[in-house]
Structure 1
Amino acid sequence: MDAKSQMHILVVDDSVVDRKVLERLLKNSSFRVTTADCVKTALEFLGCKDGNTPTKTPMVNLIISDYSMPELTGYDLLKRVKESPALKRIPVVIVSSENIPNRINRCLEEGADDFLIKPLRGSDVSRLCSHVLPLL
């Protein structure tokens, strides 16, 4: 198996269409993908049930999250991941259809590894890989 096929990416987006597009782009590049439709579901997948910190690091190499979602945003997810001793080493990439400099800067200052503007394209996959392949 090559490094890509061993990489597991968690995609978090409330839009079914955006989730499917990103999932297809990543799977076409041989990545293993798990999707979540909201931050709460993503946190549960990461082992943070009822707001608790996970006791072990989940087997996820990258989290890609939409910024704008109901209830909790991608920024909220980013903060939870980076504040958790068990999760903080997982790279987080935030995506958004809105190019708002203050939002982008805030996410990067809070620890996001990158901020991409939708719609994502196949060329963005290699940019995403640069955040995780050195970790494998």
Structure 2
Amino acid sequence: MEGDGGSKLENAMMEEYGDEPHVLAVDDNLIDRKLVERLLKNSSCKVTTAENGLRALEYLGLGDENKATLEDRVSKVNLIITDYCMPGMTGYELLKKIKESSILKEVPVVIMSSENIPTRINKCLEEGAQKFMLKPLKQSDVVELRCNLMKCRS
């Protein structure tokens, strides 16, 4: 399922990122995190992983008063892909924090979940998620996602 923000996905990367977009992958499950990392790397993406929403926010510099560091990190992250169900902070809560940030709000966020719950999907899309993908992710999902990001035609 896709949100209405496909143009943001398509426009987010082209100018400064070359052929290797940088994706922050967030998942509390090590196996799922490694799978997403492998699929993204197979699609020529640079990948940084985080095991939960709080670590992702740390990496992104949210909560850190150093704006230069935040701007530097944001300029290097083209996409955030996060699991919905995580302890401490759900993917939905992470999405809300990102969209509330004046510097991060334009970074596309993709939510993934093993549960196909329409109300949950709609809530995420309404809050600004670019896409909601069902787990387990497949290479074809990541290829499509990367093509959207890089404006390639498949």
Tell me, yes or no, whether TM beats 0.5: yes
- Indicate the residue corresponding to 2:19 in structure 1: 4
Q: Is the 8 A contact 2:43 2:146 kept in 1?
A: no
Structure 2 gaps of 5+ residues are: 1-16
- Indicate the residue corresponding to 1:49 in structure 2: 63
- 1:21 equivalenced with 2:35 (yes/no): yes
Closer/same/farther in 2, CA of residues 124 and 53 from structure 1, 3 Å limit: farther
SS in 2 for 1:105: helix
SS in 1 for 2:19: helix
Taking every aligned residue pair, what percent have the same amino acid on both sides? Answer: 56
- 1:63 equivalenced with 2:77 (yes/no): no
Q: Is the 8 A contact 1:94 1:107 kept in 2?
A: yes
Give the CA RMSD over aligned residues: 1.8
User: Quick one: which of 113, 127, 133 aligns to 1:116?
Assistant: 133
Counterparts of residues 30-49 of structure 1 (less than 5 Å): 30-49=44-63
CA distance in 2, matches of 1:130, 1:105: 23
Q: Is the 8 A contact 1:53 1:84 kept in 2?
A: no
CA distance in 1, matches of 2:93, 2:148: 20
CA distance in 2, matches of 1:53, 1:14: 27
- The alpha carbon displacement at 1:4 in A equals 3.2
Q: Deviations over 1:94-132 (max 9, x none)?
A: 000000000000000000000000010000012212442
- Indicate the residue corresponding to 1:97 in structure 2: 114
Structure of greater relative contact order (alpha carbons < 8 Å, 6+ residues apart):
2
CA distance in 2, matches of 1:102, 1:17: 27
Q: Deviations over 1:32-63 (max 9, x none)?
A: 0000000000000000136x695526110000
- Indicate the residue corresponding to 1:86 in structure 2: 103
- Indicate the residue corresponding to 2:12 in structure 1: none
After TM superposition, the structure 1 stretch with the greater mean CA deviation from structure 2, 32-41 or 52-61, is 52-61
Q: How many residues align?
A: 131
